[in-house]
Amino acid sequence: MTTLPGLREDIYLGGVNLSTAPDSVSIAFDVGETRQRAADGTLLAHAAKPFVGACMRPSKAKIALTFVSLTGADIDALNRVVARGGPFDFCAWTWHTESFPTAGGTLARRNAPDEVPSGYLPTDAATRYALVGTDDNGSASVVNLSAVDPHDRTPFSATGTAPIDVRYVPLFSVRVGESQPVFSESSQQGATLELEEV
Amino acid sequence: MPSTLGITGTARTLLVSGVGMMGTSAADRTSVSASDVGGSGAADVSVCGPWFDATRRNGCRVLLGTSLEDISGLLGSVEITAEVGTIPRTATFELLDSRAAYFVSDSFSRGGQPVQIWMRVNEGGEWLAFQGLTEAASNEGPYCPRATFRAVSVSATFVYGAVGCIQELPFAGRTRANLLEEFADSAGTPLTIAAPSSTISKAVDLSGLSVGELLERWGLVEGWYIRESSDGGVEILDEETFLLAVPSVNLTPDLYLSVREDPPNRPATEITVSGTRPAIGTQAVEGGVLASADPPITETSSETWTDADGYHWSRDTVTITRFGAVQSEKIEEWSDVPLAGVTPIVIGMRPSRTETIDYTYATVSVALPSGPVLVPTGQLTEIVRSVASRYSRLSSVGYTWSDGTVRLNEFESMMETERETTTFTYGSAPGCERTSVTVTLESFYNPLYVTGYDFVDGTHRLYEFYSFMEISRTTQTFASNRNTVEAGAALEIRLTETATLKKWDGKPNESYRVTRNTVTVQSGKPGGTTHQVRVTDSDMSRNSISTVAGSMTLPETYAIDVPVYSEQLMTFTLSILRDIYPLVRSLASNEDAETFAELERVARRQARSDCAVRLTVSAPSLPSLNVWDWVSITDEARNLDEKAGYVEKIAWRLDLLNGWSGMDIVLVIPPEDV
């Protein structure tokens, strides 16, 4: 399915869907990679391979959410998240792609349509946000997900010629970083919230 | 590639317990071994695969604890260092884990925890970069303890973990490798050394050293290049193979980041190494073989003088030495003293007195290139001193001389007038203590006898004239009754010495009998500051007990199987780089070297290090490199075109978060032809 830009669903955080859409969302991926120039100018790029089956450019996400005005229920939900700290589940229903050098590996996160409780899934999530695999020839790769491991990663096997690209909607496991309520007007309450992927 | 001659031993595998210390799967080194790279010169990087890729993904596993748990709380970076001069590798890693605290159950911080560090790249096999034991670690951090662990590889336990001791007599025909194996046995870490080794002749008396220290020390003279092997053991490269090795990899500019070049700073350009070598006589012993047999060496001296009576004297002294031991001495005196007799006869210079001393030693066989030869040991067995002088026997009837004596002959003539024979006996090896000394004196004598022949001096004697006979014999026996006695609760040692004197004695008729028999007993406790001496004479004329400061006087010992030898000073001087640098001298001594070749080896090895250019190269890590490997480097800016050097130090560093796996290596480029 073609990727549609933007956030088109409610944010899922800490077991609830926030009814208020954030005014800004920033998802930065800190890639575990170092690049240096060799003596002849060749670019040497070393990426971390933190676990067996990791993708070619492993990363961890840092998410920053800004709300100008929240509903009372959302305020309670955010306060609960801040008070407990985490880890919590977070999903913004955005697409993410991981590439693997072999026909199989371990996705760094969980597949959201499979893991988010049904009562909080967007309509037709299984179809609209179905995981897609593509092999090196551009052909479809059949990706079979295994059970999530204790690190909230998802092993999988795939068909086709490596490297395999897997496009999916990740369910992040996050902890609260910085947070702050914002009172731009006396009768309104917003918040800024920073989340770091565990 | 350098061949390796391994040290094998059981200690290193016994010392590290834990499940699967080596892992259940052997490290896949075939794809990353340096032997896959190389050939005769330039590296074929395509063979080495992912470790040479410009883009690669690096992983690391640290297995820690008795169950070798694949721990997950690693922070920062993992570092491993190997360097020349220190056989074991060291590693450091940082851990955020509750078990970094001391009082937590299953704490990691108490030290002695097994640790393995495995590295991998892309989809290739893992390389066991390190295996060893941790040291105790301090920890800090408010919420969860964070500790930096330092570990030393397994070889440390058996090369530095215990000290050994060994003693060996000179000329025992042992090699340094044999002796090192015995030394390691004494340290409780048995090993077998397969490297070539020289036979030595010097005495060995070593203690308080670790196996690793002795390996490094003797490795200098043997030409051993010692490093930790890939399986945590110790391997030795022999010098010829090391010097002829080809580089295992060529670092081209796409394979390294930067180079720092450190030239030698005021290097020594004249290196002198001194030592001593054993010699028998004037000939050196190399590898237990005497270079050649000395002919007897004769030394002579002469003097002349005039005595108070105006008579002229001359004395010639001849000493003959062979194999460093005096064989004989002869002192011959001539004079123009008139011949004594009925009427003294004035003569020219004539022999007056000749003293000859002959020495006899127990011998031991020493190898020569042409075959064995017997050489003296320190066990002197007999000294015979014979004096010939002008004499005529005193007689009851005969010629009356001008001095009033009655002699058997009209004039004196040269004859043997005195002989003193000293014999020594020794106990058996290994003690070889001198057990007795007997001095027998023979001369002309005639015992007193009341009803014997009348002599002009008014005495009555047994025989008509004096005869050459034994006139005294003194015998000393040493510690023949040495025993160890339990005196109450304390151990006591007693040494008993007997001394007897036999001579012509008695009245009115002399007989040849023992006139004195003295027993001296020393007793004391081992290591005591005083000892007791009790002397008892057979005739009770002297009987004393005294307390003497110091330790007991033990019998002298002389080894039966050690030849008389000396140590000759030898020096070797190496001049290098004189066309570039001014003269700077370095003087050193080496007490282990026994040949010029070994001194030269030490000097050249020092030159290869002190006069070398060092390159510190930062590069992506290669797993298979080790110290003493040869590596070449190409750097146009420094006019280096596959310039070869050997690895002196490697520090691998894997940044766990950002994936960079690099190494800093120090390459030593020695001067040409050293």
- Taking contacts as CB-CB distances below 8 angstroms, the residues of chain B near A29 are none
- Report CB contact under 8 Å: B655, A49: no
- Return the pLDDT at B540: 63
Cα–Cα–Cα angle for B385, B390, B395, nearest 5°? 105
Name the least confident of A154-168, B21-35, B87-101, B449-463.
B21-35
- Report CB contact under 8 Å: B59, A37: no
A145 strand-pairing partners: A156
Q: Does A45 touch chain B (CB under 8 A)?
A: yes
Over 70: is that where the pLDDT of B134 sits?
yes
Tell me how far apart the alpha carbons of residues B526 and B493 are, in angstroms, rounded to a whole number: 7
- Helix residue ranges, H only, B66-175: 155-159
**Local structure of residue B218 (DSSP, 8 states):** H
CA atoms within 13 A on the CB side of A67: 22
B204-249 pLDDT per residue, tens: 999 999 999 999 999 999 999 999 987 778 888 899 989 999 999 9
Q: Binning pLDDT at 50, 70 and 90, where does residue B114 land?
A: very high
Over 80: is that where the pLDDT of B37 sits?
no
Ramachandran assignment for B481, one of left (phi > 0), alpha (psi -120 to 50 degrees), beta (any other): alpha
Best A30, A44, A175 member to test B by mutation, with max B CBs in 10 Å, is A44
What is the DSSP annotation of B530-565? EEEEEEEETTSS-EEEEEEES---PPPB--TT-B--
Task: Tell me the two tokens of residue B49.
Answer: 């695969």
Over 50: is that where the pLDDT of B46 sits?
no
The CA distance from A92 to the nearest CA of chain B, in Å, is 25
- Return the pLDDT at B26: 25
What angle, 0 to 180 degrees and rounded to 10, lies between the N-to-C axes of helices B211-222 and B596-610?
100
Size of interface A-B (CB pairs under 8 A): 79
- Return the pLDDT at B501: 92
- Report CB contact under 8 Å: A50, B59: yes
Contacts of residue B672, defined as CB under 8 A and 6 or more positions apart, other chains included, come to none
- Report CB contact under 8 Å: B259, A37: no
Q: Binning pLDDT at 50, 70 and 90, where does residue B38 land?
A: very low
Residue the block writes with tokens 């397969």: B194
More confident residue, B124 or B384: B384
Q: Does A63 touch chain B (CB under 8 A)?
A: no
Q: Which of B59, B255, B660 sits opposite A34 (nearest CB)?
A: B660
- Please tell me which of A37-51, B380-394, B512-526, B543-557 the model is most confident about, judged by mean pLDDT: B380-394
Over 60: is that where the pLDDT of B23 sits?
no
More confident residue, B547 or B4: B547
Q: Which of B104, B121, B10, B151 is nearest to B60 (CA)?
A: B121
Query: Judged by CB atoms within 8 Å, which residues 86-125 of A form the interface with B?
Result: 101-102
- Report CB contact under 8 Å: B54, A44: yes
Q: Which of A106, A109, A111 is nearest to A55 (CA)?
A: A106
Strand, helix or coil at B306?
A: strand
CB B251 within 8 A of CB B633: yes
Name the least confident of B15-19, B166-170, B491-495, B597-601.
B15-19
Tell me how far apart the alpha carbons of residues B112 and B267 are, in angstroms, rounded to a whole number: 42
CB B193 within 8 A of CB B48: no
Tell me how far apart the alpha carbons of residues B537 and B515 are, in angstroms, rounded to a whole number: 10
A17-53 pLDDT per residue, tens: 999 889 999 999 999 999 999 999 999 999 988 888 9
What's the length of chain A? Answer: 198
Name the least confident of A34-43, B315-324, B363-372, B627-636.
B363-372
How far is the CA of B572 from the CAs of B173, B468, B600, B602, B604, in angstroms?
25, 59, 6, 9, 10
**Local structure of residue A1 (DSSP, 8 states):** -
- Return the pLDDT at B414: 95
Looking at every residue in chain B, the average pLDDT score rounds to 86
CB B379 within 8 A of CB B424: yes
The CA distance from A48 to the nearest CA of chain B, in Å, is 3
B251 strand-pairing partners: B633
**Local structure of residue A56 (DSSP, 8 states):** S
**What's the rounded mean pLDDT across residues B310-323?**
94
A161 strand-pairing partners: none
What is the DSSP annotation of B15-72? H--STTTT-SS----TTT-GGGS-SSSS--HHHHGGGG-SEEEEEEEEEETTTTEE--
Task: Tell me the two tokens of residue B81.
Answer: 């260092």
CA Rg, chain A, in Å? 19
Contacts of residue B639, defined as CB under 8 A and 6 or more positions apart, other chains included, come to none
Tell me how far apart the alpha carbons of residues A160 and A138 are, in angstroms, rounded to a whole number: 9
The CA distance from A5 to the nearest CA of chain B, in Å, is 30
- Report CB contact under 8 Å: B254, A101: no
Best B55, B57, B78 member to test A by mutation, with max A CBs in 10 Å, is B57
Q: Does A34 touch chain B (CB under 8 A)?
A: yes
Name the least confident of A4-13, B548-557, B578-587.
B548-557
- Report CB contact under 8 Å: B658, A32: yes
CB A28 within 8 A of CB A61: yes
Over 50: is that where the pLDDT of B113 sits?
yes
Pairing of strands A170-182, A88-91: antiparallel
- Return the pLDDT at B173: 87
Over 70: is that where the pLDDT of B2 sits?
no
CB A172 within 8 A of CB A90: yes
Tell me how far apart the alpha carbons of residues A198 and A110 are, in angstroms, rounded to a whole number: 13
Q: Does B59 touch chain A (CB under 8 A)?
A: yes
- Return the pLDDT at B350: 93
SS3 labels along B357-426: EEEEEEEEEEEECCEEEEEEEEEEEEEEEEEEEEECCEEEEEEECCCCCEECCCECEEEEEEEEEEEEEE
**What's the rounded mean pLDDT across residues B295-316?**
94
Tell me how far apart the alpha carbons of residues B625 and B230 are, in angstroms, rounded to a whole number: 10
Tell me how far apart the alpha carbons of residues B184 and B191 are, in angstroms, rounded to a whole number: 7
Residue type, A24: S
- Report CB contact under 8 Å: A34, B59: no
In chain A, the residue whose alpha carbon lies closest to the alpha carbon of B654 is: A48
Task: Tell me the two tokens of residue B500.
Answer: 């007897």
- Report CB contact under 8 Å: A38, B254: yes
- Longest CA–CA separation in chain B, Å: 123
Q: Which of B115, B126, B119 is nearest to B149 (CA)?
A: B115
ipTM over 0.95: no
Name the pTM for this structure.
0.75
Looking at every residue in chain A, the average pLDDT score rounds to 92
Exposed, middle or buried: residue B479 (CB in 10 Å: 0-12, 13-18, 19+)? buried
Q: Binning pLDDT at 50, 70 and 90, where does residue B536 land?
A: confident
**What's the rounded mean pLDDT across residues B435-441?**
94
- Return the pLDDT at B152: 95
Strand, helix or coil at B155?
A: helix
Over 90: is that where the pLDDT of A143 sits?
yes
What angle, 0 to 180 degrees and rounded to 10, lies between the N-to-C axes of helices B176-186 and B211-222?
170
Q: Binning pLDDT at 50, 70 and 90, where does residue B483 land?
A: low
